[in-house]
Amino acid sequence: MRCMGSNISMDVLSTIDLSAFLAFAIISGYTPGPNTISSASMGLTYGYRRTIPYHLGIGSGFFLLMIASALVASAIKTLLPGLIPVLTVLGSLYILYLAVHMVRSSISLASTMPEPLGFGRGMLLQLFNPKALLMGLTIYSTFLVSLPTTIFWRGASALFLAILMYGSVTLYTLFGAALLKFLTSKRVGSAINIVLSLALVYTAITLVWPLIQPRL
């Protein structure tokens, strides 16, 4: 039974371009955004322990958002499968937009908050976080489009992404000041942004390559 379960898991994972998926997920999760910047600000002001409820809210809200993204993507795949290539192209264009935006962006720390944010605010933030929403829809309609539409795989993938996000906000909370100072250095920041942008360009190419390869 264990061997069969392992074989099934390997078969599923073999249908996914793990390098491109992980590159996009890590870059999207660990680059500055509403979750990371607000966590860094709270960490600087109130310390790590008082930000834990906020982190748990972010993780929980992000998990639910990923589940919702998976359901939307599977509904499109079932009801309107012809849209999948369109979503793939749109997803690659969005990733290229992120790459261009990253090269041109500058990072600044959010203003100090008058009081620590709690679990509810962290969860609610995900409903108004366009970066997280577009990340979820892009991942499930492109990189993970071939993932089985079962409770296990939806839950496991969403949990993995939520843990990734939790690690991101924890990192920014613990090392927010040093990390942001490092990233905002003109030379260092520009070099890092260029490298990350090239990685995003790579993921965009891997998405559309199967679509254009037969025509070459």
- Taking only the tens place, the pLDDT of each residue in 26-55 is 988 888 788 888 888 788 778 788 889 999
Mean pLDDT of the chain: 80
**In percent, how much of the chain has pLDDT > 90?**
25
pLDDT at position 52 is: 93
If you average pLDDT over residues 90-98, what whole number do you get? 81
Furthest-apart CA atoms within the chain: distance in Å: 58
Q: Tell me the pLDDT tens digit for each residue of 136-165.
A: 988 998 899 888 888 999 999 999 999 999
Residue (of 109, 126, 107, 203) closest to 166 by Cα position: 126
The DSSP 8-state label assigned to residue 214 in this structure reads G
Better-scored residue on pLDDT, 178 or 107: 178
The DSSP 8-state label assigned to residue 50 in this structure reads G
Say if pTM beats, i.e. exceeds, 0.85.
no
pLDDT at position 58 is: 95
pLDDT at position 80 is: 83
User: DSSP labels for 105-160?
Assistant: ----PPPPPSS---HHHHHHHGGG-HHHHHHHHHIIIIITTTS--SHHHHHHHHHH
Distances (CA, A) of 84 to 72, 90, 158, 195, 204: 12, 10, 20, 29, 15
Q: Are 125 and 38 in contact (CB under 8 A)?
A: yes
User: DSSP labels for 16-41?
Assistant: S-HHHHHHHHHHHHHS--HHHHHHHH
Task: Please state the domain extents for the chain.
Answer: 19-215
At residue 109, does pLDDT exceed 60? no
pLDDT at position 15 is: 67
Using pLDDT thresholds of 50, 70 and 90, give the confidence band for residue 1. Answer: very low
The DSSP 8-state label assigned to residue 215 in this structure reads G
- Sign of the torsion formed by the C-alpha atoms of 107, 142, 23 and 34: positive
